[in-house]
Amino acid sequence: MSDNSELLTPELKRLLDKYDRPGPRYTSYPTAPAWEDIPAADLESALDRYVSADDAGQAPPLSLYVHIPFCEERCLFCGCNVVISPEDKVSEPYLDVLHREIEMIAERLGSRRRVSQLHLGGGTPTYLRPEQLQQLTRWMQEAFVFEEDAEISIEVDPVVTRPEHVHALREVGYNRISMGVQDLDPKVQESIHRVQPEALTDKFYRLCRELGFDSVNMDLIYGLPYQKVGQFARTVERLVEWGPDRVAVFNYAHVPWIKPHQKQLPAEELPTPDMKLAMILETGRIFGEGGYDAIGLDHFAKPDDELAVARRNEILRRNFMGYTTQPSTESIAFGVTAISEIMGIYAQNITRLSKYQRTVLADHLPVHKGLRMSGDDLLRNEVIMDLMCNLVIDKGRIEARFGIDFDRVFEDALIGLREMQEDGLVELSPQEIRMVGHGPILVRNAAMLFDAYLPKGDEGSENLFSRTV
Ligand SMILES: C[S@@+](CC[C@H](N)C(=O)[O-])C[C@H]1O[C@@H](n2cnc3c(N)ncnc32)[C@H](O)[C@@H]1O
Ligand code: SF4
């Protein structure tokens, strides 16, 4: 196969030239650049509001996230919040601090609140030893009441995760696991400083299956150095053979001004936007033929997976942990840099490890940045969420929920959408706005039309966001 795909037609190339620009990924709205310094009191009062709502029987169960920032070595593409620590002198003190943070939050919540989701992310949570992971999980289970069918999940790097880790995780109730694969090609792996032989991934995947996780996810990235369309397709075909329940195929976010280590990647070997688009189109084709449903733009799931079912019913949601079927999210996050989203606020923990630890040990909630969402923020958040998750906005639902006249409030956005309609990307009707044709590929562009914080034109965005294609 050549460097391009026959799916990349001249019309699609024209659209790509027209629409490719820097833009947010909308894992939150308002996006992080709009956040400001906020006091810990904002999180405290959000927790108090949650308590009142829960006591009145009007709150959903909580989602919990714990950030373990450590990795032994750095992959050069990495865009996550990571602390590199080749020798483990950090995990014990970090766990002590996490324990204190869990206690502080639990005290504020007054009694043990219900939990429907726990996710350990990183970094690499399996940087911790198996018994440390179990201890951390038990602290959570003591502080909260886990629902019978709670999703308990973890992200792992198969290179550093040992069988003992996986056994220990199953023992304390983990039922979902997500593993980084990125790309199986040795040349790509070498260039990104992440050598992960296929045989190792194979062995790891089989172990997860043997141990009976309800859901196994694999992460890939497209847009890395030396990737070619046909070669990446081989990685995708191998994944279809393995048959994970879900796959995330991330668009490589190249942001060397924020993550300077990315400058060490051979920039001249990065695929062009055309090639990237061809790669994701081929990826979609191969997963489609392999029996997977597309979830949003870059996720795929087996048709009986609950995400695929929610997608078909157009009720999919997203939170900081990824796509979810839970209708509303109230999430509390623990650990350095972690972000809570609860009762109309975003609250991010301090991002410098030493300061985060000092603050918790001084018995203060370690909040530094965030946002109290206004009514307008909540409205736009809902609209953007609908678009990004389900590729459709149900105007009637939004009008009923927020008591607005959709077309009047979003007059400006509709001008941009009409242009996208002329390009065959969007279908506008009195009831709904729907991404059609090649539209799903450019859904970020449509979402940007509803973003009240974006600078007009691309001015300033180059330094904030990765490109939409
Ligand atoms: C925090 S890592 C998770 C697990 C583990 N540390 C690993 O690498 O296998 C989560 C995922 O984020 C994705 N990722 C990391 N940096 C990225 C970037 N710059 N652009 C797009 N995706 C990225 C990778 O696919 C990675 O598997
Ligand atoms: S192992 Fe994962 S989190 Fe750590 S540097 Fe690599 S991609 Fe980033």
Ligand nearest to the CA of 156: 1
d(CA 392, CA 414) in angstroms, rounded, equals 14
Distance, CA 309 to ligand 1 centroid (Å)? 26
d(CA 42, CA 345) in angstroms, rounded, equals 8
Give Cα 129 to chain centroid, integer Å. 25
Distance, CA 266 to ligand 2 centroid (Å)? 18
Q: Which residues of 405-417 are buried (b: 16+ CB within 10 A; e: fewer)?
A: ebeebbeebbebb
Query: For 183, what's the count of Cα atoms within 13 Å in the CB-facing half-sphere?
Result: 30
Cis previous bond, 256, omega within 30: no
Task: Please give the radius of gyration of the chain, using alpha carbons only, rounded to the nearest integer.
Answer: 22
Q: In what order do the strands lie in the sheet with 392-394?
A: 392-394, 432-435, 426-428
CB neighbourhood size of 254 (10 A):
19
CATH of the domain spanning 1-29+375-452:
1.10.10.920
d(CA 399, CA 406) in angstroms, rounded, equals 6
Query: For 371, what's the count of Cα atoms within 13 Å in the CB-facing half-sphere?
Result: 16
- Specify the residue with its C-alpha closest to ligand 1, atom 21: 252
Tell me which residues have their CB closer than 6 angstroms to ligand 1: 77-80, 121-122, 124, 155, 157, 180, 182, 219, 221, 250, 252-253
Tokens of 214: 């309800």
Tokens of 327: 């209708």
Q: Are 301 and 372 in contact (CB under 8 A)?
A: no
Distance, CA 78 to ligand 1 centroid (Å)? 6
Distance, CA 68 to ligand 1 centroid (Å)? 13
**Closest CA relative to residue 154, chosen from 126, 130, 129:** 126
Distance, CA 258 to ligand 2 centroid (Å)? 16
Distance, CA 92 to ligand 2 centroid (Å)? 20
Among 124, 191, 193, say which to mutate for ligand 2: greatest number of ligand atoms within 8 Å of CB: 124
Distance, CA 455 to ligand 2 centroid (Å)? 31
Distance, CA 220 to ligand 2 centroid (Å)? 13
Distance, CA 204 to ligand 1 centroid (Å)? 18
Residue labelled with tokens 């694969």:
181
Distance, CA 122 to ligand 2 centroid (Å)? 8
- Specify the residue with its C-alpha closest to ligand 2, atom 2: 123
Tell me which residues have their CB closer than 6 angstroms to ligand 2: 71, 74-75, 78, 80, 82, 122-124, 157, 180
Helix 163-171 crosses helix 130-143 at what angle (to 10 degrees)? Answer: 20
Which atom of ligand 1 is found nearest the CA of 182?
A: 25
pLDDT reported for residue 212: 96
Query: For 166, what's the count of Cα atoms within 13 Å in the CB-facing half-sphere?
Result: 24
**Closest CA relative to residue 88, chosen from 126, 127, 130, 133:** 127
Ligand nearest to the CA of 67: 1
Ligand nearest to the CA of 126: 1
Domain locations in the chain as residue ranges: 1-29+375-452, 30-333
pLDDT in tens, the chain (469 residues): 455 667 778 888 888 888 888 888 888 899 988 999 999 999 999 999 999 999 999 999 999 999 999 999 999 999 998 999 988 899 999 999 999 999 999 999 999 999 999 999 999 999 999 999 999 999 999 999 999 999 999 999 999 999 999 999 999 999 999 999 999 999 999 999 999 999 999 999 999 999 999 999 999 999 999 999 999 999 999 999 999 999 999 999 898 999 999 999 999 999 998 899 899 989 999 999 999 999 877 899 999 998 898 888 888 888 777 788 877 779 999 999 999 999 999 999 999 999 999 999 999 999 999 999 999 999 999 999 999 999 999 999 999 999 999 999 999 999 999 999 999 999 999 999 999 998 988 899 999 999 999 876 555 555 555 666 6
Which atom of ligand 2 is found nearest the CA of 194?
A: 6
Please give the CATH topology (third level) of the domain spanning 30-333. pyruvate-formate lyase- activating enzyme (3.80.30)
DSSP per residue, 250-261? EEP---TTTSGG
Residue labelled with tokens 């606020």:
345
Among 67, 70, 72, 75, say which to mutate for ligand 2: greatest number of ligand atoms within 8 Å of CB: 75
d(CA 333, CA 101) in angstroms, rounded, equals 10
Ligand nearest to the CA of 157: 1
d(CA 435, CA 419) in angstroms, rounded, equals 13
- Cα angle value 215/137/144 (rounded, 5°): 100
Which atom of ligand 2 is found nearest the CA of 159?
A: 1
SS3 state of residue 120: strand
Note the pTM of the prediction, 2 decimals. 0.92
Cα separation of the two ends of the chain: 21
d(CA 250, CA 71) in angstroms, rounded, equals 20
